[in-house]
Amino acid sequence: MNIADNGFQLTDWSKLTQELISGQCGESKSRKNNYGDIRIRIVKYSAGYEADHWCTKGHILHWLEGDLIVKLKDGTEYNLKKGTSFICGDSSENPHKVTSKNGATILIIDQQMIA
């Protein structure tokens, strides 16, 4: 990941458009901002949220509020709480997905997907 020298940039997250995404159960609300090839998102998962897909994209995640369970396709599960972070690389061999019993808010940093 390369952080381009675009000067100092400030983000007022409350002014960004919120995208609603349905999961297998529940929904997420996401606001995002792109800085060159870096995408930064704040995502709020509803109580009872379960992702509808296995993700192969690498991310850096940091929990701001709530609880989240990260499941790896190999069966490993991590119960994460406020203040916890993780990093995972791009992996089609062992993708991940998330669920949340009570809802969660997380910060995600990854590389913007270029179409």
DSSP assignment of 81-93 equals ETT-EEEE---SS
- As a whole number, mean pLDDT of residues 21-28 equals 95
Residue 13 lies in a domain: no
Residue 82 lies in a domain: yes
Q: Domain of 35?
A: 20-111
Work out the pLDDT band at 115, boundaries 50, 70, 90.
low
Q: What whole-number distance in Å separates Cα of residue 40 and Cα of residue 33?
A: 5
Residue 49 lies in a domain: yes
**Would you state the structure tokens that stand for residue 87, as one six-digit string?**
């990093």
The CATH number for 87's domain is 2.60.120.10
Residue 7 lies in a domain: no
* Residue 77 CB coordination number (10 Å): 10
Q: Which residue has the tokens 């808010």?
A: 105
How do the residues of the chain divide into helix, strand and coil, expressed in percent and rounded to 5?
5, 55, 45
Instruction: Give the pLDDT confidence score for residue 111 in this predicted structure.
Output: 85
Residue 95 and residue 55 in contact, taking contact as beta carbons nearer than 8 Å: yes
Residue 1 lies in a domain: no
Percentage of the chain surpassing pLDDT 70? 94
Instruction: Give the pLDDT confidence score for residue 36 in this predicted structure.
Output: 80
**26-35, 39-48, 88-97: the lowest-pLDDT one:** 88-97
* Number of domain units in the chain: 1
pLDDT at 105 over 90: yes
Residue 14 lies in a domain: no
The DSSP symbol for 48 reads T
